[in-house]
Amino acid sequence: MRAVRLHEIDRENGPKNFRVEQVDDPQPAPGELLVAVRRAAFNRRDVFISQGLYPGIQLPCIPGSDGAGTVAAHGEGAQGPALGTRVVIDPTLGWGPSQRIWLRSAQVLGMPHQGTFAEYIAVPAENVHPAPASLSDDEAAAIPLAGVTAYRALVSRGGCTKDDVVLIPGVGSGVQTFVLLFAKKIGAKVIVTSSSDEKLERAKALGADVAINYNTAERWEKDVQAVDGGPSLVVDSVGGDTLGKAVNVTRYGGRVVIYGGTTGDAKIRPYSVFWKQLDIMGSSMGSPHDFAAMLAMFDPSTSSGQAIKPVVDRVYAMNDVAAAAESVDKGAQFGKVLLAVGEA
Amino acid sequence: MRAVRLHEIDRENGPKNFRVEQVDDPQPAPGELLVAVRRAAFNRRDVFISQGLYPGIQLPCIPGSDGAGTVAAHGEGAQGPALGTRVVIDPTLGWGPSQRIWLRSAQVLGMPHQGTFAEYIAVPAENVHPAPASLSDDEAAAIPLAGVTAYRALVSRGGCTKDDVVLIPGVGSGVQTFVLLFAKKIGAKVIVTSSSDEKLERAKALGADVAINYNTAERWEKDVQAVDGGPSLVVDSVGGDTLGKAVNVTRYGGRVVIYGGTTGDAKIRPYSVFWKQLDIMGSSMGSPHDFAAMLAMFDPSTSSGQAIKPVVDRVYAMNDVAAAAESVDKGAQFGKVLLAVGEA
């Protein structure tokens, strides 16, 4: 089969190292399904691996956590969707029995396990879900890792309801776009911030109620607090100063969920936390239960909030994988960057 | 009646300004009880007020949040314990209906409302609870604000169970001593830290399983992590570097509860929070429900863990109130500093 492989890592030019090669087809082990991948999607994780910015890198590897396609074969005794079913893959392997935290042995598809940037992939049958009927292959492939990360942060950890005012700092990334979509589906009011007016406009088109440019605002914290007294729920992956300020503007009894920290350490005022009795909660990836509940958000028959669809930035041909990786590295996209692996 | 009053605040010499005076007896309003106070106890709050380190100070005031005594009169229509009943006072006024957070209008006894450093005090009947039968007047008076703060932080917010390993940084304060006692009553394993070997010895006598001197330990974080892989629950009021390090040593899926931040801002690594999926929770004071549940911890018939008693550092005569305040200001005490207001 054709697959994207990484043979070396490079801090500067990692994204250029993704290349398409011919490799042996995988065979489904007992309990596994073989999926013919049609579309895959990039996550920052894939680029970080190419740059050596990920622990325990094993080379060569076939990256990719996100994929949608059809069931091509069943391993011995495997349950799950029938041959030919349109499916989407839960990228978390071996989460374990607890909803609260994964097992330390849990992994995400794509290094060291073979990833989705390949024509075929073999995964445990319980990781294979029928794709939401309302979504195209592109849209289905855009969902998995970003969608489950967003769902767990916003809903399972953050407990978002229609009564919340949700602050989404740095809108535009794959995950933050899903946080916006899910919050609007739930019926919450949403404040987004970005340094890009273009991203703010796109967020408003997706339902954001208030959009603030943190570069041109005199003090974005003040503008955020002017909205109904400030957010009751923050979902952040920026970290640093942004996180410290977000804690300060959060309402009494509010929640701050952290699923990343791009800009590093945050200076936190204990007084803001204890006096307002905040909950600051870490979130990473998502459980099988989170994944199934997240997929259900795309059922258009659910009456609350607005109907939603994943946001696709652009679909790249498999041979253009390096260009796709560079685009993710630059962070200029809005929504997910896809790879056309098979026929759609 | 005789009462302790503050007429002025002084950043340097505040504790010297507490003085005993003759004032009019309070009268119980409808729904209130009049309590004849036998013993009162100091909290840092009282000293902070004398130093002007508290918002909204009104002078002159009668300070004191903690008191135990007997019911002396019932206001019109007041329910609650009968005349002469030995009682302890819940110091939080107007918490409100939510268990999650107090109303912004909630107050603590002792400025602006008259406090417990007086022979009589009138408070809403629902704030007056029979004193635990197993406790002396000194012990009962030592409980209220520190006890409910500790209970809410450790149990209502932190969810402490017998399976927890609880880290208590800076043991010795009134609240931290109650955190230690309650954690042992629940049956958890407890790690305490202090810069004072004497305080560590006293904590061990109260049941602490592991005691670490953070001044003489090479790296206290390493010693803490050596205990069963580190704490599953931290209850902190130190803030600053201590809080940042406590977050880093907390186990996967653990909780960090903050009810104060004496040493100021903390540098928090977002990675520690999201990758370990920690909960960092602010806590302040306690609800009426917390107060009642906290008092029940002193029922010796409860089978789990060890029987506990509040720790009294020293009982000062009312006329020595300034010396008592100075002792609290220095922070050299272990347990609560009491004031003998009436006959015991």
Residue A339 has pLDDT above 70, yes or no: yes
Q: For chain A, give the percent of residues with pLDDT over 70.
A: 99
Predicted confidence at residue A331, as pLDDT, reads 84
List, for residues B27-72, the tens digit of each pLDDT value. Answer: 999 999 999 999 999 999 999 999 999 888 999 999 999 999 999 9
pLDDT digits (tens, 9 = 90+) for A70-112: 999 999 999 999 999 999 999 999 999 999 999 999 999 999 9
Interface list for chain A against chain B, based on CB atoms closer than 8 Å:
98, 100-101, 104, 157, 239, 243, 252-253, 258-261, 264-284
What pLDDT sits at residue B344? 52
- pLDDT tens figures, B238-296: 999 999 999 999 999 999 999 999 999 999 999 999 999 999 999 999 999 999 999 99
Same domain, B26 and B91: yes
Residue closest to A95 by CA, chosen among A152, A56, A134: A152
Q: Is the pLDDT of residue A307 over 90?
A: no
Q: Which of A140-154, A290-304, B127-141, B285-299 has the lowest mean pLDDT?
A: A290-304
Per-residue pLDDT at A285 = 95
Is the CB of B275 less than 8 angstroms away from the CB of A260? Answer: no
**What residue in A sits closest to B285 (Cα-Cα)?**
A275
Q: Is the pLDDT of residue B113 over 70?
A: yes
Q: CB-based contacts of A96: which residues, under 8 Å, 6+ apart?
A: A102, A103, A105, A106
Q: In which band, very low, low, confident or very high, does the pLDDT at A300 lie, cut at 50, 70 and 90?
A: confident
pLDDT at A173: 85
Task: Decide if A222 is inside a domain.
Answer: yes
Residue that is last in its domain, among B263, B282, B301: B282
* Chain B environment of A282 (Cβ under 8 Å): 272-279
Output the six-digit token pair for A302: 């659910």
**Is position A59 within any domain?**
yes
Q: Do B267 and A266 touch (CB under 8 A)?
A: yes
In a domain, A195, yes or no: yes
Phi and psi torsions of A185, nearest 5°: -60, -40
Partners of residue B5 on adjacent β-strands: B19
Same domain, A89 and A116: yes
Q: For residue A98, give the chain B residue with the closest CA.
A: B253
Domain presence at residue B184: yes
Partner-chain contact A280 B279, CB within 8 Å: yes
Minimum CA–CA partner of B261 in chain A: A270
- Indicate whether B114 and B202 sit together in one domain: no
Q: Taking the CA atoms of chain B, what radius of gyration do you get in angstroms?
A: 20
Out of A253, A266, A284, the one facing B101 most closely (by C-beta) is: A253
A contacts of B268 (beta carbons < 8 Å): 243, 265-268
Identify the band that residue B333 occupies on the pLDDT scale cut at 50, 70 and 90: confident
Contact check, Cβ <8 Å, B277/A104:
no
Across the interface, whether the CB atoms of B282 and A273 are under 8 A apart is answered yes
**Is A253 within 8 Å of B100 when comparing Cβ atoms?**
yes
Same-domain pairing of A154 and A276:
yes
pLDDT for A197 equals 95
Mean per-residue pLDDT over chain B, rounded: 95
Once rounded to an integer, what is the mean pLDDT over residues A50-62? 93
Chain A residues whose CB is inside 8 A of the B269 CB are 261, 264-265
Q: How far is B284 from chain A (nearest CA, A)?
A: 6
In this prediction, residues B99-119 reach a mean pLDDT of 96
Residue A260 has pLDDT above 70, yes or no: yes
The answer as to whether A293 is a domain residue is: no
Instruction: Find, among A243, A330, A344, A265, the residue nearest to A39 by Cα.
Output: A344
In a domain, A292, yes or no: no
DSSP-derived secondary structure letter, B12: T
B111 lies in the same domain as B160: no
Supply the DSSP symbol for A16.
Answer: G
User: What's the mean pLDDT in A253-262?
Assistant: 96
Q: How many CB atoms lie within 10 A of CB B87?
A: 24
Domain of residue B200, CATH code: 3.40.50.720
ipTM for this model: 0.94
Same domain, B185 and B114: no
Contact A274 B265 (CB under 8 A): no
Which residue, A16, A9, A11, is CA-closest to A58? A9
**What's the burial of A182, exposed, middle or buried (CB within 10 Å: 0-12/13-18/19+)?**
buried
Among B269, B275, B284, beta carbon nearest to A275? B284
In chain B, the largest separation of any two C-alpha atoms, in whole Å, equals: 62
Whether residues B271 and B320 fall in one domain: no
Of the residues B232, B262, B282, the one at which a domain ends: B282
Q: Is residue B296 part of a domain?
A: no
Give yes or no: residues B160 and B253 share one domain.
Answer: yes
The verdict on a CB contact (< 8 Å) between B274 and A259 is: yes
With CB atoms and an 8 Å threshold, state whether A280 touches B281.
yes
Give A305's pLDDT tier (boundaries 50, 70, 90): low
Q: Looking at the structure, do residues A245 and A325 belong to the same domain, yes or no?
A: no
CATH of the domain at B25: 3.90.180.10
**Contact (CB<8Å) A281/B284:** no
Question: What integer is the mean pLDDT of B165-193?
Answer: 95
| Mean pLDDT (whole number) for B220-240 | 96
Distance, in Å, from the CA atom of B278 to the CA atom of B252, rounded to the nearest integer, reads 7
Q: How far apart are alpha carbons B210 and B232 in whole angstroms?
A: 15
Position A315 in a domain:
yes
* Nearest residue, CB atoms, A270 vs list B104, B266, B277: B266
Q: How many domains does chain B have?
A: 2
H helix or E strand, kind and range, residue B48: helix B44-50
- A269 CB neighbours in chain B (<8 A) are 261, 264-265
Domain shared by A17 and A134, yes or no:
yes
Segment A206-231 shows an average pLDDT of 95
Q: Could you tell me which residues of chain B have a Cβ less than 8 Å from any Cβ in chain A? A: 98, 100-101, 104, 157, 239, 243, 252-253, 258-261, 264-284
pLDDT-derived band at A332, boundaries 50, 70, 90? confident
Least CA distance to A259: which residue of chain B? B274
Contacts of A101 in chain B (CB under 8 A): 252-253, 276-277
Mutation target for A interface from B48, B54, B273: give the one with most A CBs within 10 A: B273
Q: Which of B282, B298, B318 is the last residue in one of the domains?
A: B282
> Is the domain of A14 the same as that of A71?
yes
Summarize the confidence of residues B219-236 as an average pLDDT.
Answer: 96
Range of the domain at B30: 2-143+310-340
Regarding whether B111 and B45 lie in a shared domain, the answer is yes
- Cis peptide preceding B60, ω within 30 of 0: yes
